[in-house]
Amino acid sequence: MDKKIRDNLAIINDNIAKACDKSGRSIDDVTLIAVTKSVEVDSIRALLELGHVHMGESRSPEIVKRNAVINESISRRIELPGINPNNRPIRPVWHMIGHLQRNKVKSLLPIVEYIHSVDSLRLAEEINTTAAKLGLEEKVKILLQVNTSQEKQKYGLAVGAVAALAEQIITLPNLQVSGLMTMAPNTLDSDRCRFCFSRLREIFEDMKTDRIVGPEFKHLSMGMSQDYVEAIEEGGTMVRIGSALFA
Ligand SMILES: *Cc1c(COP(=O)(O)O)cnc(C)c1O
């Protein structure tokens, strides 16, 4: 199983490198997030051993549970005699990529590095006040989720609502608005996917031009197993990949 993950990871990293090359970008500009929602904890451990730390989950209780299991085994290993104390353990960097309910924010905040799925002022405010209550040292990095495909069943802000909401959220002191996120339609039609990605990129550029956001606003989280190459060519900086990595 580890071999399969290693091979898939190599293929994906290679495709990412080619897409960067083709669009004149550096591979350092693109972060691969391994979406682990459908796999066992052992697969997360296998990735960590390969040096891959960025993990994405779409359900908050899963992140909490899995993080606890992983940390437990890391602490157990550190206590083993003979292990070099300077050999710092590699811990996962968690990305919350799915719909987030406000009552789950408190358990999630101490664990996650990025929340990709903020799509309302109420949720942003909940994150802001909870961060203050928890006394978090750093601002919580969030991305605004945009429904670029305009499918009814999808979460995310309407394209026309993003800038106005960002102007409100940017005033919340404990949040750092780090970028935008979208999901393309579930289709093999790569032109339709590309359209969603370039749409997100346009909104992103407009917000920068209008100075609604500052330099910390730099991420476009877009692209999944079927469409990450297109997403990178359209400017994506974070790709979220599950099935292509673990299948
Ligand atoms: C599941 C999921 C992914 C990964 O999808 P794959 O097609 O398995 O790569 C990416 N983003 C979100 C928000 C998801 O829920």
CATH number of domain containing 235: 3.20.20.10
Amino acid 75: pLDDT: 80
> At what angle are helices 190-209 and 162-169 packed, to 10 degrees?
50
State the sign of the Cα–Cα–Cα–Cα dihedral 95, 100, 104, 105.
positive
Ligand 1 center–CA 225 separation, angstroms: 7
Question: How many A from CA of 135 to the centre of ligand 1?
Answer: 31
Q: Enter the tokens of residue 92.
A: 């996962």
Q: What is the Cβ-side half-sphere exposure of residue 150, based on CA atoms within 13 angstroms?
A: 7
What pLDDT band is residue 81 in, cutting at 50, 70 and 90?
A: low
Atom 10 of ligand 1 has which residue's CA nearest to it?
A: 240
**Listed residue (233, 196, 201, 194) closest to 217, CA to CA:** 201
Give the pTM. Answer: 0.95
Ligand 1 site: residues with CB under 6 angstroms? 35, 37, 58, 97-98, 183, 224-225, 240-244
Mind listing the pLDDT tens digit for each residue in 166-210? 999 999 999 999 999 999 998 889 999 999 999 999 999 999 999
What's the confidence (pLDDT) of residue 87?
Answer: 61
Q: Which domain holds residue 188?
A: 2-246
Question: How far apart (Å, rounded) are the C-alpha atoms in residues 47 and 13?
Answer: 13
Structure tokens that stand for 224 in this block = 């999944």
How much of the chain exceeds pLDDT 90, in percent? 85
Q: How many domains does the chain have?
A: 1
Q: How far apart are CA 119 and CA 196, in angstroms?
A: 17
Reported as a single tens digit per residue, the pLDDT across 99-158 is 999 999 999 999 999 999 999 999 999 999 999 999 999 999 999 999 999 998 889 999
| Residue 191 CB-density burial (10 A; 0-12 exposed, 13-18 middle, 19+ buried) | exposed
